[in-house]
Structure 1
Amino acid sequence: MTQHPDHDVELYRDDGVYRVFVDLPGFDPEEIDVAWVHHRLTVSARRTGGPGSSRVFDHEVNVPRAVDTEAITATYREGVLDVELPVDPGESPPGRRIEIEK
């Protein structure tokens, strides 16, 4: 069963893997382009119908941790794109917690 997001795009963290769900009903897989560019997931979809009829979707998702770019996978079922972005185990989390002096 495919998870249908409540919004057009949703990001979840699940045991060392970020999952991005994108609701793209009515598109064919060939009309969807998924890329990892400058630490962002980009999703574009374009469908041209008859004269004056077209659908365009463009969205970027920032991911808060470095990911293993070689292990990224994507599936498209029942109108939902599901992209898995495994966290890079060698990368430390960005930033640090700062203690407040009393």
Structure 2
Amino acid sequence: MTHHPDHDVELYRDDGTYRVFVDLPGFDPEDIEVTWVHHRLTVSARRTGGPGSSRVFDHQVNVPRAVDDDGITATYREGVLDVELPVDRGADPPGRRIEIEE
């Protein structure tokens, strides 16, 4: 069964994997482009209908942890794009703690 998001885009963390659900009804898989660059998932979809009719969707999602780039998968069912981004358990979270000097 496909999860239908309450919003256009939803991000969840589920047991070591981030999941991004994007509601894209009416698009075909070949209309959708998914890219991953520098902790950011970008989803773009373009569909041209009849004369003067087109639909465009562009959205970026920042992911707060390092991701195993090779393990990213995406599926599209019933108008919902589901992208799974496995957390890279060997990487430290971005950023660092700042010590306070007295």
Structure 1 unaligned residues grouped into runs of 5+: none
Q: CA deviation at 1:92?
A: 1.3
Q: CA deviation at 1:39?
A: 1.7
Q: Are 2:39 and 2:64, in contact at CA under 8 Å, matched by a contact in 1?
A: no
The percentage of counterpart residues that share the same residue type is: 88
Divergent runs of 4+, >2 A: 94-100
Structure 2 unaligned residues grouped into runs of 5+: none
Q: CA deviation at 1:95?
A: 3.3
Aligned to 1:19: 19
The separation in 1 between residues aligned to 2:99 and 2:8, in whole angstroms, is 37
Aligned to 2:2: 2
Provide the secondary structure at the position in 2 that maps to 1:7. coil
Aligned to 1:63: 63
The separation in 1 between residues aligned to 2:15 and 2:81, in whole angstroms, is 20
TM-score by length of 2: 0.92
The separation in 1 between residues aligned to 2:92 and 2:99, in whole angstroms, is 19
Aligned to 1:79: 79
Amino acid across the alignment from 1:17:
T
- RMSD of equivalent CA atoms: 1.6
Q: CA deviation at 1:37?
A: 1.5
Amino acid across the alignment from 2:3:
Q
